[in-house]
Structure 1
Amino acid sequence: MELHCTRPSCPKPINAFADLDSSAVLKTVQQKFCVTCGMPLILSSRYLPIKLLGKGGFGTAYLACDRYTPTMRQCVVKQFQPSGNLNPDQLQIAQDLFEREAQVLEALGDRHPQIPDLYAFFPLVVPGLGTSQPEEFFYLVQEFIDGQDLEHELEQRGPLSEAAILEILNSILKVLAFVHENQTIHRDIKPSNIMRHRNGKLYLLDFGAVKQVTQAQGSSPAKSTGIYSMGFAPPEQMSGGAVYPSTDLYALAVTCLTLLTGKPAGDLFDSYRNTWNWEKSVQVSPRLAAVLNRMLQSAPHQRFASAQEVLQALKPPAAPPSPPTTPSPPPASTALQPPSAAASSSPPPAPPPPAPPAPRPQFSLLEVLGGAAFTGFEGSLVAIALVSFLGVTLVGGGSWLLFMAALTFLQWRRIIERVDLAIIAVISLGLVLMLRLYPGQLLSWQNVLIIALIAALIAVAIAILFRLIYQIISRFF
């Protein structure tokens, strides 16, 4: 088993212990120490860091397991580790923010299913590395969300649809409504702080920059400490002024814009006119556009006052109730008609409204490149079969183009995808290699395979080039 040393200055943090592969040893050993720097590896005698997850402004996160649980439950261990050279006052502020995250998780995590639970918060004092002065570290242990944050989801899948944005809004607004009702403001809403679990549930992360709302009547709201993410924070937060629940709504709207358009927040803001200029980059319904634009107002009082107001505004308008009708006697011309005749004279029912068009298939970057490689591979095999094995001349070029168009259409409609591509490619390669048994073949099996692979790489390169040109053009139009 490998354990990761959490000392920031350790030159070789990875430690392998073969005896920890035994469950009996793992649960009973008192402690393990880093073979390089001597740092204790089993934190608080129970948490075993096994992988570095990432580093932020105030700390480093590790994936760990809790050896005192029956299933060796996975968790996240955050170590307080501020970046940069901070003076004592700044260091104290950073430590207060780290402790505040633990307090908020303890207060809110157990009470809401979309906020991680707090498991532990503790300090650790160890001998210094290369110095006689001891070092003190602070750790926060919280629930591990097995999934991917929306920033990485955007990088892999591209811009999200309006339906996906509405799902995110409805989910995260409910979390913010709970947070605000408990007199807390998150102050750092952005795609990397929203995690999608493998089961689809969205979680709100990173409460290190939270702010308590002042409750005393007549007192002015507390000033912001200047903790924010550039591009997502509203003007009042960037200037160090007071923050409000609408501060989080502004940041959530910017988050939605980046996910809708696939562009950085800075590319969507017109600094010359001091306005957001995003609607030309994506087509959305008028109701969603109006909601986002109100959330993006520069003055806090011009935005929605609460997350509940936004949720209400996102609901489709209810159909107006039909006016009550009083029965009236039938006209004389129909009163004497038999029931069958009266029924036949009534107007036919209105036809049902047409079904909305099916949404256009969305393809991730991996699917696009895989499809290009498959198309190039198949195209080369068909060309080899037509020209080299079957003796077809240039007259057969038309049939080859029809085959390539049909292949592309089948992928675009998702009639063939994923595993289908690999199965078809293997079968096609086998058929082409079988044709080598006929007299007159011109290519060896090695040359057939090399040509097919080269064609696949060329198709991938062309797909990458066209995608790059599209992204460059989309930034200007």
Structure 2
Amino acid sequence: MSQSYIIKAEIPSGTMIDNRYIIQKLLGQGGLGRTYLAYDTRRFNEACVLKEFAPTGSGENALEKCRNLFKREARILHQLAHPQIPRFLACFEGDGRLFLVQEFVDGKTYSFVLRERQDLEETFSEIEVIQWLKSLLPVLGYIHQHNIIHRDISPDNIMLPDGENLPVLIDFGVGKQIANLNENTTPDHMSFVGKMSLVGKVGYAPREQISLGLCSPSSDLYALGVTAVVLLTGRDPSFLMDQYSLEWRWRSYTKVTNDFARVLEKLLADTPKQRYQSSKEVLTDLERLGQFQVMGSSTVLDFPSTVIEQKSQPTFTTRQPHYQYPQTTASSARSSYSQQQYPVIEPQPQPQPQQSSLNPAFIQRCQQELAYYIGPIASLVVEEILEQTPQISPYQFIEFLAREIPDASAGVEFRKHLFS
């Protein structure tokens, strides 16, 4: 990977990327790259988000981290199909840059919504936050059932789409795919994945995640609880925690019922064992709060002029992921969250890049054929197989690719096309 990933400047408005996407404007910028609003000329100029991965640091470590995050987010987004998670549309490399393409969510982050409230000397009410939690907890339950931990939940990474009622969870760039359950895992470790990179927003991520790199579904629930008290109080987490005892002192900044306070305190428990272990547990306790069963036919949730109808959570069909990750089986992905165990994962050494012995035109044709069956994730599948087995024969290469196609008959068809 060349140094061009570091020195590339912001892409000007009006630039055509990959002969398809027209850059409209810069949406955001951080240490690992930029996010652009773009129009997809092959989909009637539909708005989309181009996420460019390009670290601002230097050296091989920064470059490798950038590429790993690019692959990680592409894999995670590819297997998720939920109405409250932006759709993954494509991934590609062009002009010395790495790009992910996602559905564009036209709306505001909850950080922005909270600032609007504060300008009016208001914050979110107890009823609003309860409804907000009920809307987001099923999303967390969904990603946890797919063995994914978000690890970066905060008001910046939750959006309220314009004209919509349900919040949307965004930015899976530091999300983590967890290995399949291990029958020998002890109860004391069943919720944890160890020795990860230390990621997460300080103040929102729990102590074990920031200090040790350990995270679990309960750490996502902790961050959701912190976000909830921030919406209630309008204060940064640093103001809500005692600097000497490191205990939460958020209740003095807002008024909530004791029953709801107990739910929040359990979400914010410092010890993972004392927290809720699943979204379902939190939802069960929220439903038991009798005073919030029904208060008229609607409840204000986002803006003073917007009303949210209290409806049951929407149902949808889960898309079976095409690309199966190492140590993750279809049965473990389908197993209920309450039965899952999360073993410690040792970091795997990165393979040294080697030159492939296959003809580039042949590789491109294989990738195009594979993309027909499994979509844009095909480029990453091809890349990883070549990295792991650079001296692979054409026959073996086709066989490896065919195994990534979930449907057996489609795999046979794929082989026939390429062997012919």
Bucket of the pairwise TM-score, normalised by the shorter protein: 0.5 to 0.7
Distance 1:236 1:52 in 2: 35
- Asked if structure 2 preserves the Cα contact closer than 8 Å seen for 1:287 and 1:314, the reply is no
**Aligned equivalent of 2:414:** none
**Aligned equivalent of 2:111:** 151
Answer yes or no: is 1:216 the counterpart of 2:182.
yes
Answer yes or no: is 1:190 the counterpart of 2:137.
no
Alignment of 1:301-316 (within 5 A): 301-316=273-288
Q: Which runs of 5+ in 2 are unaligned?
A: 305-420
User: RMSD of aligned C-alpha atoms?
Assistant: 2.8
Distance 1:154 1:309 in 2: 27
Paired residue type of 2:97 = F
Paired residue type of 2:72 = R
2:212 to 240, 254, 259: 240
Distance 2:128 2:21 in 1: 37
Q: Higher relative contact order at CA 8 Å, sep ≥6: structure 1 or structure 2?
A: 2
Using a 3 Å threshold, how does the CA distance of structure 1 residues 49 and 268 change in structure 2: closer, same or farther? same
- Asked if structure 1 preserves the Cα contact closer than 8 Å seen for 2:259 and 2:289, the reply is no
Deviation at 1:101, TM superposition (A): 1.0
Paired residue type of 2:155 = P
Deviation at 1:156, TM superposition (A): 1.1
**Aligned equivalent of 1:80:** 53
- Asked if structure 2 preserves the Cα contact closer than 8 Å seen for 1:223 and 1:243, the reply is no
1:174 to 115, 127, 138: 138
**Aligned equivalent of 1:100:** 72
Using a 3 Å threshold, how does the CA distance of structure 1 residues 118 and 11 change in structure 2: closer, same or farther? closer
Deviation at 1:93, TM superposition (A): 2.4
After TM superposition, the score normalised by the length of structure 1 is 0.56
Paired residue type of 2:38 = A
1:252 to 210, 224, 232: 224
Using a 3 Å threshold, how does the CA distance of structure 1 residues 363 and 301 change in structure 2: closer, same or farther? closer
Using a 3 Å threshold, how does the CA distance of structure 1 residues 103 and 313 change in structure 2: closer, same or farther? same
Answer yes or no: is 1:292 the counterpart of 2:252.
no
Distance 2:101 2:159 in 1: 17
Paired residue type of 2:112 = H
Counterpart of 1:48 in 2: which secondary structure?
Answer: strand
Distance 2:286 2:158 in 1: 20
Answer yes or no: is 1:205 the counterpart of 2:165.
no
Deviation at 1:164, TM superposition (A): 1.6
Paired residue type of 1:77 = L
1:269 to 241, 246, 259: 241
Deviation at 1:10, TM superposition (A): 4.1
Distance 1:43 1:154 in 2: 35
Deviation at 1:54, TM superposition (A): 0.8
Counterpart of 1:54 in 2: which secondary structure?
Answer: strand
- Asked if structure 1 preserves the Cα contact closer than 8 Å seen for 2:6 and 2:54, the reply is no
**Aligned equivalent of 2:34:** 60
Deviations 1:160-218 (A, max 9, x none): 11122112111111100000011110000000100001122210000011112232233
Distance 1:363 1:75 in 2: 25
**Aligned equivalent of 1:226:** 198
Distance 1:212 1:119 in 2: 19
**Identical residues among aligned pairs (%):** 38
- The number of aligned residues is 284
Counterpart of 2:93 in 1: which secondary structure?
Answer: strand
Counterpart of 1:68 in 2: which secondary structure?
Answer: helix
Counterpart of 2:42 in 1: which secondary structure?
Answer: coil
2:91 to 97, 111, 121: 121
- Asked if structure 2 preserves the Cα contact closer than 8 Å seen for 1:189 and 1:252, the reply is yes
Deviations 1:370-405 (A, max 9, x none): xxxxxxxxxxxxxxxxxxxxxxxxxxxxxxxxxxxx
Using a 3 Å threshold, how does the CA distance of structure 1 residues 12 and 303 change in structure 2: closer, same or farther? closer
**Aligned equivalent of 1:13:** 12
Distance 1:160 1:287 in 2: 18
- Asked if structure 1 preserves the Cα contact closer than 8 Å seen for 2:205 and 2:219, the reply is yes
Deviation at 1:12, TM superposition (A): 8.7
Deviation at 1:274, TM superposition (A): 1.6
Distance 2:93 2:303 in 1: 47
**Aligned equivalent of 1:112:** 82
Deviation at 1:237, TM superposition (A): 0.3
Distance 1:47 1:303 in 2: 44
- Asked if structure 2 preserves the Cα contact closer than 8 Å seen for 1:147 and 1:196, the reply is yes
1:137 to 91, 97, 109: 97
Using a 3 Å threshold, how does the CA distance of structure 1 residues 181 and 363 change in structure 2: closer, same or farther? closer
